Structure 1
Amino acid sequence: MAIEAGIDLRTYRDGNDLLTAGLGADGLRSAAPPAFANADAPTAEELRRRAIWANWRGIADLAPGGGYGELYGSLAPVPGREYQALVRLPGRKQPHRVLVQVPDNFDLQARCVVVTASSGSRGIYGAIALAGAWGLPRGCAVAYTDKGAGTGYVDTADGRGIGLDGRVAAPGEPVELSVPAAPAGDGVAPIAVKHAHSGDNPEADWGRHVAQASDFALQVLSLAHPDAGPWTPGNTRIVAVGVSNGGGAVLRAAELPDTGIDAVVAVSPNILRTGSGRALYDYSTEAALWMPCALNAAAYDGVLLARPNGGKSPAGTARCASLKSMGWVQADEPAAQAEAAREHLLSTGWTDEAIAAGVLSVNFDLWRAVNATYASAYARAGVDAMPCGFSFAVAGPDGQPRAPTAAERAAWWSDASGIPPGNGIALRGGVEAGADPTLPGNQCLRALWEDAASVVRAGIAATQAGAPREGLPVIVVHGTDDGLIPEAFSGAAYAHGFASEGATLRYWRVRNAQHFDAFLGLPVLGARYLPMLPYGYRALDAAWKHVAEGAPLPADTEFATTPRGFADGAVPPLTPAHLGNLP
């Protein structure tokens, strides 16, 4: 394993800790992020604390009444040591960031490692609410990888990247994304984003990233507990877990030989099984074009977020008119056009439940942002050559590009999600004046999928998953209402397909659950949907009992949940009865 800059070791005790950075439940639940003493130059510890705060809030429902810390999960402080490095896969242009947390209560008798990959395109703490919160209180070491994505953004005006400690690095220091300076003359230099601009198509290597993080964990344990060595896969149990893109990453690791991984749990995974399912880029470019119109159909009249001020979405009506003008729908009336768009999505495998939950991605313009980022990654495009003319740049209040301030730039690593827009960075390009401004960019991105010979299609082909290695126990958990990564295209296709071929695989299907636990603090969503994390924790419990105690794997299960709804105008607290037959 090629380590770029040595291993950074830090100890967290006495008011700081591995799991909450000393914030505790109250600090993580605070709507205000932990402050920087000097916003232009935050310290490494301030950046770490804020990154942990941001990643907890981006994954888990910590709202009062949501059940976290009461029905599932723990926010108790866990003191210990943290080891971090930048490592590189052979032949790749950019490193990925790896981190291992070793709690003071590490159980030398159980010798447990939980290895994980960040959800979405998040930075290194992007799985702490699942892997860290389950593993650290149990005395397991937890190994993380950003899987080649993350928040190491670079302002190409000077090309200075993010160093190992999260700060903007000095010239010549190792960084997690290295791109050349590209001054823009009289214009504004674009922002380089690791997932989009690494030049490595990182998704094709997700499994190898996880395997390398697992290897790094054993190396770290040999440093942390040298007297208990040797540390090998043969004498240390390793459980891999991830959610969303992290779930896809651990499933890709499941197919590799000689990783030492003993069990895998994947929650809401983004995974493309060879021969079945649909690629994320396929259904997300489809959704970007059709879903705004479809959500105006009468079937979704009860989806409150799709009904601003109780009426139909004006943007959806405009998209329906565009579909009519292109000849994609034939009806003349907006209501009939919306129904035709809905029927089109249903014919390609979407469900009403997934479309209803997809309103989140429509309202946040998430489909277009994801598709522009992924198209660039699949094409291995440079920062100034993204497909369809897209680019990322800091935008002022007037929407015009400008140079970032020192404070904005300093906070990217801790605050960003890994896919702009956000944190002052805008997605530029692919729009035109008129009632339906995003249509041209979305059409261009879809055309890259429809062209079977495109470089984007070649990049996607490299991400297809093979079967888990023989005998490896795998539990896949997916929500029936997932509107970002629909189960039929991803988790269910993977699980049912490989189980039918003899894989040791179990599938847990959760009714009334969508993709984003973090949004359940909004009453309109908390009333309708249940969180996914409780099922991820239970699946980890079951996987651990199987590998450590020889207990049988649980059966395939469909969890009959009950939404909380509203009582006296408020969403009642989550109870075990809402979660159904959760073991």
Structure 2
Amino acid sequence: MRVTAKVIGAALAAPVMLAASPVLAADPPAFIKGDVRITEFDGVTDDLLTAGLGAAGLQSGTPPALSDPPTAAELRRLAIYNNYRALVDVTTGGGYGTLYGPDVSAAGVPGEGPGMIAGREYLAFAGPASGHVNVSLLVQVPDIFDPDAPCIVTGPSSGSRGVYGAIGTSGEWGLKNGCAVAYTDKGTGTGAHNLGDDTVDLITGERVTADEAGKDSIFTAGINDRKQADYDDETPHRFAFKHAHSENNPEADWGKNVLQSIRFAFWALNEAHPDADIRPGNTVVIASSVSNGGGSSVLAAEQDKQGLIDGVAVSEPNVNPEPGGDFAIKQGEGPPFFDHSKSLYDYTTLLNLYQACANLDNPAAPFNFLGLTAIQQNRCASLAELGLLTSGTLAGQAAEAQEIINDFGILEEQNIVQPSHYWVFVPQAIAVTYANAYGQFSVLERLCGYSFGATTGNSLIPDLGNPDDGVPVPLALAAENALFATSNGIPPTSGVNLINDRAVEGSRETRHSTSPSTGRQDHNIDGNLCLRDLATGVDTVTGEKLRGRQQARHKQILNGIREIRASGDLNGKPAIFVTGRSDAILPPNHTSRAYFGLNRLQEGTDSELRYIEVLNAQHLDAFNQFPGFDNRFIPLHHYFIQALDIMFAHLKDGLPLPPSQVVRTVPRGGPDGGAPDIVEAVNLPAIQQNPAVTDEIRFEGNQVLIPE
């Protein structure tokens, strides 16, 4: 074991290799494989939270530049810049710099300088270090950490992002409050293996050949040289991505990865403060983060048998509750809904199939690119031709598609949001990546005819009449070298697109492809049907049970989903879930609401889980800077910060947790793109210790009761 240390001013210094035993009070945990890289940041030239950019640099629309090839320090800086901006609205009118941001103090006081935080980073892989299952762990220890009042906050990455994926959410809160932050990429991250030139990412983001990296790559596809060469000959310029193609179902270990990150944090803290005795018994540990990261922390709390975690505070967690809970969910005076707790893969493949047509039922939705009506009309026509819609008019088909989506338990409040997500490939990307991950399929499988690679033309707003668009090509070298810092880990991302290898034209980017079964450019309905079949186990068109290899694939995916289900048992730990009612990625009836009900069945009146549902809030706060979102939605991040503040006060000072409740926010209003600046006193009522009875969320008579 070696430890890599960098002196203050890390961006300018070369690593110095130190023997491990003389400088460490104890060896790192046994699951740490390879080197531990220790880097100090002075808070002036570089820092933990903003990578030297400060609050203004993170807000700037000009990203930090990269050399050719980029250095590790440059890639770290760009990764922090992109990951921060991906999760929060960085406009002043939306609350950046006034309600949150590096220059807002832990006490909520704006204008506290650039927000640069000095401290030390510990970066390592958890193994086994086989070269294709490495999990990145990172601990940030701010200089303001108080060893006499130690605290740790977890920051597992949202989505499939790299190890800095939670820097702007639980990372920022933890650093401002003097806590160590325990990050992990959860075994997904931005590991991208170019199967053509055989290059991969190192833990610090530099790209080298797979042979050079060996077991030190973030991800190397587990295929032999001959099969890789054959694949590249048949379908050149393709990539394998870690989340999709690790053949490990990484989500099954997300809770374990969070627990590992906490144990690594305890080791790092005792290395940084060798005269202190920092341990679970005297340290406040909050499992936190948002989306996939939040779901990971919930699973960690369920799996925590060593008393590492004291409390949970998460936002919009991706939880897949065990199905079959004997309870209903009832919103307002609506009917009881029993068919909750569907898996992410189930409801996403339904959206993937029907949303393009349903977009036409909501022309006022922001980012609903009605200039691309041909694809949407073609999808409606294909669904009707296949017997999946019955209406004889386009308007009727669109309304019918929307009704199918909402009848599946996806709230009407998300309808205005979903078109934007469709046009930026959210359901398409999730459906392809998670099918591969749950089924543990090799990149060679090309499941449902999909592959990943760069293509010609514009994939976001395609010229459908141009036959030269959508053709696979090599990814530009500069883009490839920046993947660690720019990719979200789940294609389409950073110039790597979804390719339909079964298109009539030959391999084409999915929007430019013509479906063999329909002869239309309908956004690859054949691939979407294949993915949906694998979710249900039946042929979506004929209703017949799948046979042969498709049935085997379906069973593999179901087994993978079973591995990631949440039990609902938090072992009595206090927890706060914050979720936006308009969440169009993780619908509440199948995630937070369903988990709340399952937890009540598991823990009864002893449950310490509080569920906060926020009106006029959706999943991607970063979208709130755009026209049509700015005037409709408030930052859910504001309530995530409140949840962390409340949990910290509860664990440190014994202050009570609030009841579960609906928070009735007030949108900023105004025209699309012209919303007035947000005002906390006007738009953002606080989570209440004594909410009105009409706002309380309750579990009574085996029903989760959600106020309208």
- The residue number in structure 1 matching 2:436 is 376
**1:178 aligned to 2:229?**
no
Q: TM-score, structure 2 length as denominator?
A: 0.78
Deviation of 1:93 after TM superposition, in Å, equals: 5.6
Deviations 1:399-432 (A, max 9, x none): 3223334322210011101111121211112654
Specify the alignment match of 1:557 in structure 2.
661
Matching of residue 508 in structure 1 with residue 556 in structure 2: no
Q: Any idea what the Cα deviations from partners look like across 1:189-237, whole Å, max 9, x if unmatched?
A: 52110100111101111100100001110111111111102x3211211
Q: Which residue of 1 aligns with 2:685?
A: 580
Counterpart Cα distance in 1 of 2:32 and 2:220: 15
Equivalent position of 2:547 in the other structure: none
Q: Which residue of 2 aligns with 1:233?
A: 280
CA distance in 2, matches of 1:406, 1:346: 43
CA–CA distance in structure 2, aligned partners of residues 197 and 301 of structure 1: 37
Which residue of structure 1 aligns with residue 479 of structure 2?
A: 408
Name the counterpart of 1:291. 355
Structure of higher CA gyration radius: 2
2:492 matched to 1:421?
A: yes
- Report what 2:46 is aligned to: 16
Letter in 2 for 1:517: D
1:163 paired to 2:202: yes
The whole-number CA distance in structure 2 between the counterparts of 1:52 and 1:90 is 25
Q: Secondary structure of 2:38's match?
A: strand
How many Å separate the matches in 2 of 1:197 and 1:294? 31
Give how far 1:147 is off: 0.5
Counterpart in 1 of 2:298? 251
8 Å contact 1:57–1:518 — kept in the other structure? yes
Are the counterparts in 2 of residues 99 and 143 from structure 1 also a CA contact under 8 Å?
yes
Structure 1 contact 481–514 (Cα < 8 Å) conserved: yes
User: Are the aligned partners of 1:295 and 1:356 in contact in 2 as well (CA < 8 Å)?
Assistant: no
Could you say if the C-alpha distance between residues 408 and 74 of structure 1 is closer, same or farther in structure 2, counting changes exceeding 3 Å? closer
What TM-score does the superposition give when structure 1 sets the normalisation length? Answer: 0.95
Alignment partner, residue 224 of structure 1 = 272
CA distance in 2, matches of 1:177, 1:424: 19
Task: State the alpha-carbon separation in 2 of the partners of residues 68 and 77 from structure 1.
Answer: 15
Taking the aligned partners of 1:44 and 1:522, their CA distance within structure 2 comes to: 32
CA offsets 1:475-518 (integer angstroms, 9 cap, x no match): 11110001111111111111232134323100000001111011
1:352-398 Cα offsets, whole Å, 9 max, x none, are 21222111221123211211111111111112213112111232444
One of 521, 529, 533 as aligned partner of 1:447: 533
Question: Residues 375 and 523 of structure 2 are in contact (CA less than 8 Å); yes or no, is this contact kept in structure 1?
Answer: no
Higher relative contact order (CA 8 A, sep 6+): 1
Structure 1: runs of 5 or more not aligned: none
The one-character-per-residue Cα deviations of 1:221-266 (angstroms, maximum 9, x if unpaired) are 111111102x321121111101111111011111112151000112
The answer for the alignment partner of 2:327 in structure 1 is none
CA contact (8 A) 1:384 1:391 kept: no
Pick the aligned partner of 1:545 from 634, 649, 654: 649
Contact 2:438 2:560 in 1 (8 A): yes
Q: Secondary structure at the residue paired with 1:226? A: coil
Displacement of 1:334: 1.0
The CA deviation at 1:568 is: 10
Query: Is the Cα–Cα contact under 8 Å of residues 210 and 250 in structure 1 kept in the other structure?
Result: yes
2:63 counterpart residue number: 33
The answer to whether residue 90 in structure 2 is matched with residue 62 in structure 1 is: yes
Match of 1:496 in 2: 597
Q: Would you say the 8 A contact 2:479–2:494 is kept in 1? A: yes
Residue 438 in 1 paired to residue 528 in 2? Answer: no
**Number of matched pairs:** 576
Change (3 A) 1:259 1:33: farther
Partner of 2:326: none
Q: Structure 1 CA distance, aligned partners of 2:595 and 2:446? A: 31
Amino acid at match of 2:645: D
Assess if the C-alpha contact under 8 Å between 2:34 and 2:125 holds in 1.
yes
CA distance in 1, matches of 2:36, 2:593: 39
What is the correspondence of 1:177-326 to structure 2 with a 5 Å cutoff? 177-179=219-221, 180=223, 181=225, 182-183=228-229, 184-185=232-233, 187-229=235-277, 231-256=278-303, 257-275=305-323, 276-297=340-361, 300-306=362-368, 308=370, 313-326=373-386
Following superposition, the deviation at residue 172 of structure 1 comes to 3.2
Which residue pairs with 1:354 in the alignment?
A: 414
Which deviates further from its counterpart, 159-168 or 481-490?
Answer: 159-168
C-alpha distance 89-530 of structure 1, shift in aligned 2 (>3 A): farther
Of 568, 575, 587, the match for 1:467: 568
Q: Deviations along 1:43-92, whole A, 9 cap, x unmatched?
A: 11000000000001110101121112212343411111111001026999
Rate the CA distance shift 1:232–1:159 in 2: closer, same or farther, 3 A: farther
Q: Say if 1:93 and 1:200, in contact at 8 Å, map to a contact too.
A: no
Q: What is the identity, as a one-letter code, of the residue corresponding to 2:684?
A: L
1:98-109 aligned within 5 A: 98-109=137-148
Supply the distance in 1 between the matched residues of 2:432 and 2:424 (Cα, whole angstroms): 14
Report which stretch shifted further, 422-431 or 141-150.
422-431
Residue by residue, what CA displacement relative to the aligned partner does 1:314-356 show, whole Å, maximum 9, x if unpaired? 4322222122111122211111112222222222112221222
Return the letter of the residue paired with 2:32.
I
2:17 corresponding residue in structure 1 = none
Aligned-partner Cα distance in 1 for 2:496–2:214: 26
CA deviations on 1:422-473 (whole Å, 9 max, x unpaired) are 2121111265422313211111100101117521121111110013332201
469 and 559 in structure 1: CA distance in 2 versus 1, 3 angstrom threshold = closer
Superposed CA RMSD: 2.0
